[in-house]
Structure 1
Amino acid sequence: MRLSWSKALDSPITLRQLRYFVATAETGKIQLAAKRVHMSPSAVADAIKNLEDLLKVKLFDRHRAGVNLTYDGHRFLDNARSILRRVNDSVFAFQNETENIEGNIKIGASVTVISYLLAGPISQFERIYPNIKIELREDSRLNLEQHLRANDIDLALIITSNLSTQQGLQVQGLFRSQRTVWCAENHRFAELSKVPIKEIEKENIIQLSTDEAEPNIMQIWRRYGCKPNIRLRTQSVEAIRSFVARELGVTILSELLYRPWSVDGTGILSRPVDEPIPTMNLGIVFCDNSQHPALACFIDFLKHELLRKDYPLHLE
């Protein structure tokens, strides 16, 4: 049963309920969501139950290891994030003289950042700062470093742990995204709260080959003396999701890239690796003494956006 339009307008859904829902969707656990929003687990659970009652849908499937979004929950997550972002945009615009700043910014980013992080913040930034124009360029980390030093771009958003050298560059860490193992819903890892690296080694591995993902993951295998059986190397995250969802293998990737569904709607689970493994560290890189007012505004805005924690990130 769905709410009628008139009843939906009268539904007392609160921003607090939306924040609790988003936090739970991103952490996969009521307890972790409660820590994020500084409330008790029972308060978060009650808010989500009330939200489900108001929407007349089930937002989460509960299991021993935590919760997973249902199909309706996944659909509602985009709407909840959009509402919270618009509220945040309005507050930010009123607190800052956004129309008085003009300029152009040339931004370079890796394919991962372009695909999974930048669209939302840039869309919001251009609404709030209508007189600042942004030019985007996608390229490899190494090429973006060269473009920075040649003053072809003002700013690069890249995985900073792989920088060849920081000489002449300013580096500001933005966030760390945990790497986890992805598996199908019926996989043997599904019932585990954490997965030992030696158990992952026994599986067919679907390996992302873009944005320096493979050398970073190979360092993890070497650290623990593992020799993975790589069934497929691909530049497509969607291909990885499809293969994992169909039980053709598992993968280790950043939570930033994780989505609970493949392209055809088949479920995918994410589980922590039992052993310590490096996070994916992303940051802002620009040349010494190259900041101008428009660029400073963008950097401040991007940090402000990430602080809302609508992403599965650990902020620097």
Structure 2
Amino acid sequence: MRPTLRQMQYLIAVADTGKFGDAARAVNVSQPSLSAQIAEMEASLGVQLIERSRRGAMLTGAGEELVRRARKILREVEDLKAVARFGRRELTGRLRLGVLPTVGPYLLPLATRDLHTRFPDLRLSVREERTVDLDEHLQKGEFDTIISSPIDHENVHHEPLFSERLYVCAPAEDPLTRGEGPVRLKDLKGRALLTLGQGHRLNAIIREVAAASGAEVSSEYEGTSLDAIRLMAEMGAGVAILPSLYALSEARLDRGLNARLIDHPLARREISLIWRDTSPLEVSLRELAAPLRSAAAKLLRHE
């Protein structure tokens, strides 16, 4: 008897969580059902895959190798499903798109009309996630494509969309706000910079900026959104570092926001449309990138 796809999914869940109970919740089944399926898998293969103890579940050598191969098989199954959904070259049906929360709300609304005109039968299913989660779910086949920083993803192909620079936002009475023109790195020396939590590419970039400028990343507050960071900056908790799309979008809505560009190569990030290097949708996804790139250009031309 061969292992089933469901059994492979259950084994991977145990590998990812280290506990049968957590794995069962992750795949939405009961723990006895998951345990029984894995036991059946071990019996059919004639090898122990998991070492069970009170501390949790640990993979054996054979289990680690099987999990590695099972991940590849499940990714290929997702690609097979994509072939079925997009049997023709044109983009039709549901496309699962993952996007950075610092990009999606500002880019996608601008691109909606053009996307609908070019691909009238396409239905985007969009989910916002941190960089690390986007990578995990893309590699698992849970996304068909993502909008993220290509530097953070391996075994992928990508189509560049735009290069985004960073801005500072500080209280009205702060010299950084009152000044004119771009902010230089030396202007940030000794300042507390506000950013999103770990797992976001923006966090890593701002830490590099802090190290180069003599500033520090605030240890008292890590934002869950760009709106929260901006609000904390306006309350005097530190200096917010905001990416272009957000800064320019919000500046249009709030004339009282004085966001100033940071003039340094470190203060930028590259954003691309990204897909697995095994994806059968490459030609279609390169076509999808065009309206996204155009929408970003319309906003960023005001920099």
TM-score by length of 1: 0.56
* Mean CA deviation greater in 222-231 or 210-219: 222-231
Structure 1 unmatched runs, 5+:
1-99
Cα offset, 1:158, TM superposition: 0.7
2:173 maps to 1:183? no
Partner Cα separation in structure 2 for residue 266 and residue 232 of structure 1: 26
Partner Cα separation in structure 2 for residue 199 and residue 108 of structure 1: 36
Please give the secondary structure, in 1, of the residue aligned with 2:170. strand
Please give the secondary structure, in 1, of the residue aligned with 2:141. coil
| Identical residues among aligned pairs (%) | 19
CA shift in 2, pair 1:293/1:271, >3 Å: closer
Cα offset, 1:218, TM superposition: 0.8
User: Does the 8 Å CA contact 2:116/2:122 hold for their aligned counterparts?
Assistant: yes
Cα offset, 1:156, TM superposition: 0.9
**Equivalence for 1:67:** none
CA shift in 2, pair 1:223/1:295, >3 Å: same
Structure whose CA Rg is larger: 2
**Equivalence for 1:257:** 246
Amino acid at match of 1:240: I
2:159 maps to 1:172? yes
Amino acid at match of 1:118: L
**Equivalence for 1:200:** 188
Q: Please give the root-mean-square deviation of Cα atoms over the aligned residues, in Å.
A: 3.2
Partner Cα separation in structure 2 for residue 227 and residue 304 of structure 1: 36
Deviations 1:144-163 (A, max 9, x none): 22333333322111122323
**Equivalence for 1:102:** 92
Amino acid at match of 1:109: V
**Equivalence for 1:145:** 135
Partner Cα separation in structure 1 for residue 219 and residue 130 of structure 2: 23
Amino acid at match of 1:253: L
**Equivalence for 1:279:** 268
Deviations 1:235-283 (A, max 9, x none): 1222222233344432222122215869x95822122335442412110
Deviations 1:6-28 (A, max 9, x none): xxxxxxxxxxxxxxxxxxxxxxx
**Equivalence for 2:291:** 301
Q: Aligned to 1:218, which of 193, 201, 207?
A: 207
Amino acid at match of 1:107: L
**Equivalence for 1:236:** 225
**Equivalence for 2:298:** 310
TM-score by length of 2: 0.58
User: Does the 8 Å CA contact 2:248/2:300 hold for their aligned counterparts?
Assistant: no
**Number of positions where the alignment pairs a residue of Structure 1 with one of Structure 2:** 209
